[in-house]
Amino acid sequence: MMTHGDEPGQEVPPGAPRRRRLWPWLLAGVLVAAGAVYYLTMAKQPSPAKKEGAVAARSVPVVAAPAKKGDVGVYLTGLGTVTPLNTVTVKSRVDGQLMRVLFREGEIVKSGQLLAEIDPRPFQVQLTQAEGQMARDQAQLKNARLDLERFQTLAQQDSIARQQRDTQEALVRQLEGAIKVDQGQIDSAKLQLTYCRITSPLTGRVGLRQVDPGNIIHASDTNGLVVITQLEPIAVIFPLPEDSLPQVLGKMKGSGHLTVETYDREQKQKLATGVLLTVDNQIDPNTGTVRFKAVFPNAHNELFPNQFVNARLLAEVKREAVVVPASAIQRGPQGAFVYVVKADQSATVRPVTVGVTEGGETSLSTGLEAGELVVVDGAERLREGSKVEVKGSGGPGRNQAGKNNTY
């Protein structure tokens, strides 16, 4: 016996379940159950309007700080190199054997301090010879002058020829010239003896010794004995864009001294404070920058020759500017803005014009008044009209908002 859906030629045993007729009913049951579950789930969720209302009603914890008025510095920054005002390579001015070295490597020496000594004996011998030559010439000159007096007396009496008197006068002048030559040789020998004592030409720090005692040194040696660098005061040379040159030159003519600060490579630690000394006389055409030179007292050796530092030139100070913490500034498609906390503890978006950022503080040109409370932490969870709960202050209190500050 064949049934509908059975293949021809096959017989269905009596009592066998007809499975192929059950699967449409099973599929329909699964679909009905899934629909019921989806309906119940959606029914429990709140509508978008209710969800927004719940979020708006819940207060968002934030940290806020009041805007304040203060003086903000406008800085020009460049990577500079510490350069000594004076660097001297100490060399010998005479040839001879280096007998003693009287300095320690790396110490601070004073101007005129004795650094080394060269064997003076050869120059002492030269001095003795020059003095002996001068003594001989002085004796000859004395005798020649006596003869000249005699010849002059005899010439007046027409006892000798006038030529003999003139010859004697020439001999006296020759011996007087010889005396001057002898004196020059004596002075030269004394000068060589002075050069045997090598002294420091300036106050500064000595480097590593280039020659050890016992060696023969010459005035023509290129390395010299040691290098001395002046540390107090010391200079920093740093480049700035050529566009800033008119502003700086104008300030130099007006106020005179401009303050320059130096920081480490990470711009976290302030090293020293000095003044701008001068500006280079030409612009580098390859980089479009001009070099500035600042001088620092460096009393505690904060700066070291050839050290790389970040130099900051104070070009201008903006007085009574509205200042907020830099973390309060937010960025969006429409530009910069801040969240202002209103009296009803709700946040509102306020577009602002950002000025100068310095030391974690940012000045605002427009958009905010001193004393208004701005959100400095937690702004990422806010939108227009959000209720807020101020958990802490990110800056001075309201009673300090009107106090002048310098940044």
Q: Where does the pLDDT of residue 370 fall: very low under 50, low under 70, confident under 90, or very high at 90 and above?
A: confident
> Radius of gyration over alpha carbons of the chain, in Å?
48
pLDDT at 55 over 60: no
**pLDDT of 57 above 70:** no
Cβ neighbours of residue 181 closer than 8 Å, sequence gap 6 or more: none
Residue 247: its pLDDT value, please?
86
* Rounded Cα gap, residues 394 and 371, in angstroms: 13
Q: Please provide the average confidence, as pLDDT, over all residues in the chain.
A: 84
Decide: 92 and 218 in contact? Cβ < 8 Å.
Answer: yes
Least confident of 19-23, 167-171, 189-193, 344-348: 19-23
Q: Which pLDDT value is given to residue 3?
A: 43
**What is the mean pLDDT of the segment spanning 166-192?**
94
CATH class of 93-226: mainly beta
Of the ranges 39-53, 164-178, 289-303, 350-364, which one carries the lowest mean pLDDT score? 39-53
* pLDDT tier for residue 397 given thresholds of 50, 70 and 90: very low
> What per-residue confidence (pLDDT) applies to 41?
60
Q: Which of 375, 402, 403, 400 is nearest to 389 (CA)?
A: 375
> What is the reported pLDDT for 21?
59
CB-facing half-sphere around the CA of 78: CA atoms within 13 A: 23
pLDDT score of 202:
94
Is it the case that residue 258 has pLDDT exceeding 70? yes
Euclidean distance between CA atoms 256 and 248, whole angstroms: 10
pLDDT at residue 406, as a whole number: 34
Q: Scanning the structure block, which residue is given the tokens 């300090």?
A: 400
131-139 long-range contacts (CB < 8 A, ≥24 apart) are: 131/186, 133/182, 133/185, 134/179, 134/182, 134/183, 134/185, 134/186, 137/175, 137/178, 137/179, 137/182, 138/179
When pLDDT is averaged across residues 357-361 and rounded to a whole number, the result is 78
Element (H or E) spanning 29, and its range? helix 23-44
Average pLDDT over residues 323-341: 89
Per-residue pLDDT at 42: 58
- Name the CATH topology of 58-71+319-400: 2.40.420
Beta bridge partners of 275: 259, 295
DSSP β-bridge partners for residue 390: 62
State residue 10's pLDDT score.
47
Average pLDDT of the residues in 340-369:
86
Q: For residue range 110-125, what is the model confidence (pLDDT) as tens digits? A: 999 999 999 999 999 9
SS3 207: coil
- Model confidence band, residue 402 (pLDDT cutoffs 50, 70, 90): very low
Name the percent of the chain lying above pLDDT 90. 50
Residues constituting the chain: 407
Cis bond before residue 239 (omega within 30° of 0): no
- Per-residue model confidence (pLDDT) at position 49: 47
Where in the chain are the domains?
Answer: 58-71+319-400, 75-85+229-318, 93-226
Q: Which CATH architecture has domain 75-85+229-318?
A: Beta Barrel (2.40)
Say what the pLDDT of residue 40 is. 62
Residue 117 · residue 104 · CB < 8 Å: no
- pTM (global) more than 0.85: no
Q: Per the structure block, which two tokens stand in for 173?
A: 């002048």
Is it the case that residue 16 has pLDDT exceeding 50? Answer: no
User: What contacts 24+ positions apart, CB below 8 Å, involve 244-247?
Assistant: 244/76, 244/315, 245/279, 245/283, 245/290, 247/315, 247/316
pLDDT exceeds 70 at position 17: no
Give the percent of the chain with pLDDT over 70: 83
pLDDT at 398 (0 to 100): 37
The answer to whether residue 95 scores a pLDDT higher than 90 is yes
Let me know if 149 is exposed, middle or buried by CB neighbors in 10 A (0-12, 13-18, 19+): exposed
pLDDT at 288: 92
Alpha-carbon gap, residue 170 to 168, rounded angstroms: 5
